[in-house]
Structure 1
Amino acid sequence: MNNDTVIVTGSKLTIDEVAQVAINGAKVGIAPEAQQKLTESREFVYELVNSNVPVYGFNTGVGANKDRKVEADYYNQFNVNMVRSHCVAVGPEASQAEVRAMIVIRLNTLLLGYTGMSPAIAYMYRDLLNHNITPVVPERGSIGEADIACLSHIALTMIGEGDAYYHGEKMPAKEALAKAGLEPIMLGPKDGLALVSSNALAAGQGALVLYELKKLIQLADMVYSFSLEAFKGNVSPLNEEINRVRRFRGQNESAAHVRKLLQDSYLWIPHIANALQDPLCFRCACHIHGAVRDSLHYLEELMDIQMNSSDDNPCVLINQNAIMSCGNFEVVNWTVAFEMLGIALSHLSRAACFRTIKLSSEHFTGLPRFLTPDPEHIIAFGTIQKPFTALDAEIRHLANPVSMDFYAVAGDIEDHCSNTPYVVQKTRKIVDNLYYILGIEAIHAAQACDLRQEKEFKLGIAGRVVHQKIREVIPFLAEDRNLTVDIANAYQLLKSGVLLHALNS
């Protein structure tokens, strides 16, 4: 745990702040004005409940049981039962970082004052984060119309049931709370529904996927620029004016970044390239990476809204003196944006695979086939084409849309969903596969660079970093060896952030 504190207000939470809390263990504080909103909305809830006005999830059942009245002396048991009955998710477990992301996002949306839950619950969210108590949350079982099947497991920890991690050690939740000096909470009207009914699971996992992707696209540019040097390719597609006339934001950002990465590279020597035009996997890389960037920009805007607005049903509207049923848990807009991003990443993956294949072809590079240092005795990179194309096939499958596949459930009243958690989890897997694919590309580029004998050969600022860091963990392939070890080392190198840190330091 570090000493940084993220102050949540309900309206200003960023993806970087979510990552700071979830991954780096930053503590969380609640803005005073947000605490006031919690108190006011809770007082308003009790006014309505005491007036015997039927309010969904307050003094009535939920789902198909919305027609059943809940008596005041049964509030606690009804809400406890709601939490228990909604614990229907299945494994594997979401990571502890992902659960922390879910908690801070849900806490933030509560602070807007549209939920009406007990302020004690918001403080419990804060205390779970600050005492490093992480509920065990199975990540599968939500169809995306609020993540009730999964988030109920966070609520279970709050009432002292189920399991949780305390400083990384798994134990009964009641024991974890006791170790931190916390008491299980008592649930009142609306509390159970507010605990289980939000999109915080998908939003939490989604925020961390986007955080990772913002690093991955930078790495993809680095590896591409290194491969272009190894390939002895053309820099003409990077020309600022050529990209400016096309006007796409992502394309121009990628091209500008790659131009910077190739500073001091031998590729800027006029007519140094092997051919007048390169294969499209090289020539159009910035356009493809730009499509990923454009998808990211679009999705980030939607995720910012998701993390800083209410997705509660019903919605507490003090200014209208009402609590109204709504569909604000519907997230199909940013779900399909995630699916668009997955498709764009599939294009990035395929281009990286083709570049890697081209780097092994003497016809394109002028280097020995499969980058062998000894064509008569060493096989080198012939067989390695199978795993990275297999991983790309997985990505192609994972990029298939699934948001439109659903049943009508809950007594036939919930007849739409978006499968948002699965969409996000598919994208998470795509990102993980890409670390392998880009890592293997970097291995090939490093080998090709070491085989080049041209006197003009000189790497740019990024190429020097990538080559050095690759060679620190993966030696030049001078003889055939177990390449599974090299692939794992390249994956870890890219995922660790070492390359970006070294480039920017």
Structure 2
Amino acid sequence: MGMKQKTIVLNGIDLTIQQVRQIAREQTYIEICPDALSKVKAARKIVDDMLQDDKTIYGLNRGVGGNKDIAIPKHKLPEFNLNLLLSHAVATGDPMSVEDVRAMMTVRLNSWLLGYTGIHPEIVLLLKDFINFGIHPIIPAQGSVGVSDLAFLAHLGLALLGHGDVLFQGVTLKAIVAIHKAGLQVATLCPKDGLSIVSANSYSSGKGAILLADIIDFLDTADMIYSLSLEGFHANMNTLDRSLEKTKSFPGQHLSIENVRSYLRGSYLWNTDKLKAIQDPLSFRSACHIHGSVRDAVMSVVEYLHIQLQSSDDNPVVMIEEKRIQGSANFEVTNWVLGFEMIGIAFSHLSKSSCFRSIKLGMPSFTKLTRFLSPKDSIYHGFGTIQKTFSSLDAEIRHLANPISSDYISIAADMEDHATNAPYVIQKTTKMLDNLYKILAIEALHAAQAIDLRNGIRLGVGTQKIYEIIRSEVPFLDRDRNLSIDIHKIYNLLKSGQLKAEFENKQQEQRSSFPLYQRQKGEEFINEVY
């Protein structure tokens, strides 16, 4: 195994959402901090000592869930730990993506390094090797109710033992074969290791970390496309007046306003024009405020998920300094799951706003341009039928925005009567984000077409770049054509991050100048978020 250029050291206490995404998506090499590994060993010693003292401890010498009252004889402990993984490996559905599996493995490994779990150090090191060698268990993505992702992590645990299938170097292999090909040895389960593997929300928090990082990138892209639409619409710039900042100090909206102002620097829109409407429709007037609402929601969730990534979900928890093992309810993640539900509702507002801008860009009564932005008022239909596409995508978003975290039933012999559906909350929010990229792609097509129909207007220094990149992928609509191809090209362009990369340095400067964010959350935290 060759050392990769990028290396991230895990220590349990400072993993960021950006690092989770980097390890998951870029397959970055990881190392373990020696001090953190020492905590793992110290916690393991306490588990072994407790076992020798015959103290009654959940998941160590007693069953789990509805079987909490069943004593496990010492000679049955190896079988019990294996059975725990086998009985909990109940996930179903399509397999997780490789990046989701890597995120889950990374987050679980990081939480072990806190020293609260008591897992055997050899399993910790083996999971690190799984990440570095690219041994990715094939795990179905349905079956967790979000009070620890027990089913998913059980499949991971079995893979560490050499059971099941994995993806290794792009090929599906039996786990035992991949482990041996990598020059590794399968794990051996010691007492409590079964529960120590599965007692965490690592899939939900890992995939959630990737999602939050992606949403932050998306919001910058949304500001860009909105800026282009303003020029295509011949919009009134009143709501972008910097003097308004002191009248309402929500930080998200001001960050979006500053983004848009920077993209539109030098635009014809800043010129006094008596032909402009006194006020534009709210989808044009209020977009920065709507985008800012999503930003503020994301900031709240990032703060809580950042805590989650440095926390233990374990039940029970090993307390090293006190030399005891304590039952807990740390598997509860309602606080940040509700935050993702909030983001979903905010997404629905952003989606509607974008759709209404596209509709109005195609209305001569607002733009004085051709109907549906057709190349000329004749036999061409232009962007007429495409309205059905973004309407359909928006309907999906509105449906997915309905909260699901409170839809659960009491299970495990009526012992587990609360849940969050955290995995599905993250999955549906991810789907909403993907739909939003398609809706933005359609808005971008409208904006660029309207700009061309205005024939020679002076664009802003930023929007000129945005326009040129879009036009490098899709030409002016000079006659009706298959617009599915155009949507797909711009969708891929937006998701690739190419537009964001064009303005990355400038946006970092703007964020560092925002005292509102820094005062409320701390500069170091904001730099991590953005």
Tell me, yes or no, if structure 1 residue 493 matches structure 2 residue 493.
Answer: yes
How many Å separate the matches in 2 of 1:398 and 1:244? Answer: 36
Selected match of 2:436 from 434, 437, 447: 434
**Alpha-carbon displacement from aligned partner over 1:188-220 (angstroms, at most 9, x marks no partner):** 111100111100010111011111101100000
The aligned counterpart of 2:191 is 189
The aligned counterpart of 2:119 is 117
Identical columns (%): 46
**Contact 1:243 1:255 survives alignment (8 Å):** no
**Contact 1:312 1:329 survives alignment (8 Å):** yes
How far did residue 187 of structure 1 move? Answer: 0.4
Give the 3 Å change call, closer, same or farther, for CA 257–198 of structure 1 in structure 2.
Answer: same
Aligned-partner SS, 2:115: coil
How many Å separate the matches in 2 of 1:234 and 1:384? Answer: 26
Tell me, yes or no, if structure 1 residue 66 matches structure 2 residue 74.
Answer: no
Give 1:233's aligned amino acid: A
Selected match of 2:313 from 307, 311, 316: 311
Aligned-partner SS, 2:8: strand
* Matched ranges for 1:411-490 at <5 A: 411-453=413-455, 457-490=457-490
Unaligned runs of 5+ in 2: 506-530
The aligned counterpart of 2:11 is 9
The aligned counterpart of 2:525 is none
**Contact 1:243 1:251 survives alignment (8 Å):** no
The aligned counterpart of 2:390 is 388
Give 2:16's aligned amino acid: T
How many Å separate the matches in 2 of 1:183 and 1:56? Answer: 29
How many Å separate the matches in 1 of 2:219 and 2:308? Answer: 23
Aligned-partner SS, 2:380: coil
* Matched ranges for 1:90-239 at <5 A: 90-239=92-241
**Alpha-carbon displacement from aligned partner over 1:4-43 (angstroms, at most 9, x marks no partner):** 1100110100011111110011111001110110010000
How far did residue 343 of structure 1 move? Answer: 0.4
Aligned-partner SS, 1:319: coil
Q: After TM superposition, which residue ranges in structure 1, 4 or more long, deviate above 4 angstroms?
A: none
Aligned-partner SS, 2:503: helix
How many Å separate the matches in 1 of 2:461 and 2:210? Answer: 29
How far did residue 251 of structure 1 move? Answer: 1.0
**Alpha-carbon displacement from aligned partner over 1:302-323 (angstroms, at most 9, x marks no partner):** 0001100111000111222321
How far did residue 276 of structure 1 move? Answer: 1.2
**Contact 1:135 1:154 survives alignment (8 Å):** yes
Moved more, 57-66 or 291-300: 57-66
How far did residue 273 of structure 1 move? Answer: 6.2
How many Å separate the matches in 2 of 1:345 and 1:261? Answer: 23
TM-score, normalised relative to structure 2: 0.93
The aligned counterpart of 2:520 is none
Give 1:44's aligned amino acid: I
**Contact 1:114 1:316 survives alignment (8 Å):** yes
How many Å separate the matches in 2 of 1:372 and 1:357? Answer: 13
The aligned counterpart of 2:364 is 362
Give the 3 Å change call, closer, same or farther, for CA 262–87 of structure 1 in structure 2.
Answer: same
How many Å separate the matches in 1 of 2:170 and 2:310? Answer: 29
The aligned counterpart of 2:47 is 45
**Contact 1:274 1:365 survives alignment (8 Å):** no
**Alpha-carbon displacement from aligned partner over 1:85-131 (angstroms, at most 9, x marks no partner):** 11111121111011101111111111111101101111111100110
The aligned counterpart of 2:271 is 269
The aligned counterpart of 2:247 is 245
How far did residue 502 of structure 1 move? Answer: 2.7
Give the 3 Å change call, closer, same or farther, for CA 114–504 of structure 1 in structure 2.
Answer: closer
**Contact 1:148 1:198 survives alignment (8 Å):** yes
Aligned-partner SS, 1:221: helix
**Contact 1:94 1:139 survives alignment (8 Å):** yes
How many Å separate the matches in 2 of 1:272 and 1:446? Answer: 24
The aligned counterpart of 1:503 is 503
The aligned counterpart of 1:399 is 401
How many Å separate the matches in 1 of 2:6 and 2:436? Answer: 31
Selected match of 2:410 from 397, 408, 411: 408
How far did residue 2 of structure 1 move? Answer: 4.2
Aligned-partner SS, 1:226: helix
Moved more, 284-293 or 255-264: 255-264
Unaligned runs of 5+ in 1: none
**Contact 1:435 1:494 survives alignment (8 Å):** yes
The aligned counterpart of 2:281 is 279
**Contact 1:2 1:25 survives alignment (8 Å):** no
Number of aligned residues? 503
**Contact 2:46 2:324 survives alignment (8 Å):** no
How far did residue 418 of structure 1 move? Answer: 0.5
Moved more, 256-265 or 109-118: 256-265
How many Å separate the matches in 1 of 2:503 and 2:275? Answer: 25
Give the 3 Å change call, closer, same or farther, for CA 463–273 of structure 1 in structure 2.
Answer: farther
How far did residue 272 of structure 1 move? Answer: 6.3
How many Å separate the matches in 2 of 1:283 and 1:133? Answer: 50
TM-score, normalised relative to structure 1: 0.98
**Alpha-carbon displacement from aligned partner over 1:16-73 (angstroms, at most 9, x marks no partner):** 1111110011111001110110010000110001100011101111111111122222
